[in-house]
Amino acid sequence: MKQYLELCQRIVDEGQWVENKRTGTRCLTVINADLEYDVANNQFPMITTRKSYYKAAIAELLGYLRGYDSAAQFREIGCKTWDANANDNNAWLNNPNRKGEDDMGRVYGVQGRGWQRPDGSTLDQLSKVINNLKNGIDDRGEIITFYNPGEFELGCLRPCMHTHTFSLLGDTLYLTSYQRSCDVPLGLNFNQIQCFVLLALVAQITGHKAGKAYHKIANAHIYENQLELMRDVQLTREPFASPQLKINPEIKSLEDIETWVTRDDFEVTGYQCHEAIQYPFSV
């Protein structure tokens, strides 16, 4: 929690204003942030200085792992975060590749589970990594990347947290996640949870201990219409201790994640937080 608040304070104190053409809203911006999460000791990085909706963040991650490409699929598993980008953004609405209501196109999990090869076949990056890790193999390229510049025009948004590298050291699994662009009041709240859960879950289904998750962010920003709430409300609050996450131990394979796991297989204990803050969202 301390590192999150320090990043927010750093943006407020040292950020520079950057115009943003896509959303039309300028952002107070810093470059480079390194965060880490202690999965080994179950220090679940949920924001405590406002109410955090962790189940929606986990549902979003499950949707990515399943290769979902429609905001309707995300809604069905308890996550509304893709409605606006799929249905309210003019650039995407006018894009001839959009296949209709709720279509997100070839984003995130579509690339993770079905990267298109030149010969027309597809590559399942996630299965490869899980199979190797299950067999104790780290080929120094246990990487899942959603970032496919050749297909940007086929999706509603370029992936933000775009690459995940898994590393095995003895029987301990580590994760390094890379993010090109981060909406610190809204998105990071979800992304911190997702890095933690991704490592905890993959460690569980591949039979390893979880170590740390490292989260590397290039452009970290606060939108202009979020600044007052962050500076004058959220940053004046004292954080509470980190809660703990309990994952259903019956989750044992990638197939389980694909078939029956829901957001209710994840329970948080010991969560104490300040009142909710509703931050504006820029589409």
Ligand X SMILES: O=c1ccn([C@H]2C[C@H](O)[C@@H](COP(=O)(O)O)O2)c(=O)[nH]1
- Interface residues toward ligand X, by CB under 6 A: 22, 157-158, 160-161, 181-183, 187-188, 191
Report the nearest approach of ligand MHF to the CB of residue 50 (Å). 7
Q: How far from 196 is each of 61, 81, 86, 163, 165, CA to CA, in Å? A: 11, 19, 26, 14, 13
Report the nearest approach of ligand X to the CB of residue 193 (Å). 11
Residue 189 binding: pick among ligand MHF, ligand X, none (C-beta 5-8 Å cut-off by kind): ligand MHF
From 113, 102, 181, select the one nearest 145 (Cα to Cα). 113
* Long-range pairs for 122-129: beta carbons < 8 A, 24 or more residues apart: 126/65, 126/254, 127/254, 129/166, 129/202
DSSP 133-166: HHTT---S-EEEE---GGGGGGBSS--SEEEEEE
Q: Does position 73 bind ligand MHF by CB under 6 A? A: no
Residue 56 binding: pick among ligand X, ligand MHF, none (C-beta 5-8 Å cut-off by kind): ligand MHF
Q: Does position 157 bind ligand MHF by CB under 6 A? A: yes
Q: Does position 177 bind ligand MHF by CB under 6 A? A: no
* Residue 28 dihedral angles phi and psi, to the nearest 5°: -80, 125
Cα 120 to Cα 111: distance, rounded to the nearest angstrom:
14
Q: How many CB atoms lie within 10 A of CB 212?
A: 20
Work out which of 186, 199, 201, 203 binds ligand MHF, going by CB under 6 A. Answer: 186
Report the nearest approach of ligand X to the CB of residue 174 (Å). 21
Phi-psi label, residue 42: left if phi above 0, alpha if psi -120 to 50, beta otherwise: left
Residue 99 binding: pick among ligand MHF, ligand X, none (C-beta 5-8 Å cut-off by kind): none
- The single residue of 8, 27, 156, 160 carrying the catalytic annotation is 160
- CB closest to ligand X, residue no: 187
191 is in an annotated binding site: yes
The dihedral over CA atoms of 65, 132, 121, 68, expressed in degrees to the nearest 10, equals: 0
Given the rule CB under 6 A, which of 127-135, 179-187, 197-205, 254-262 is the region that contacts ligand MHF? Answer: 179-187
Active site residue 195: no
∠ CA 278-279-283 to the nearest 5 degrees? 125
Q: Does position 53 bind ligand MHF by CB under 6 A? A: yes
**Closer by beta carbon to ligand MHF, 80 or else 252:** 80
Q: How many CB atoms lie within 10 A of CB 74?
A: 25
Annotated binding site: 22, 180-183, 191, 221-223, 282
Indicate which residues carry an active-site annotation: 160
Binding site for ligand MHF (CB under 6 A): 53, 56, 80-81, 85, 157, 183, 186-187, 189-190, 281-282
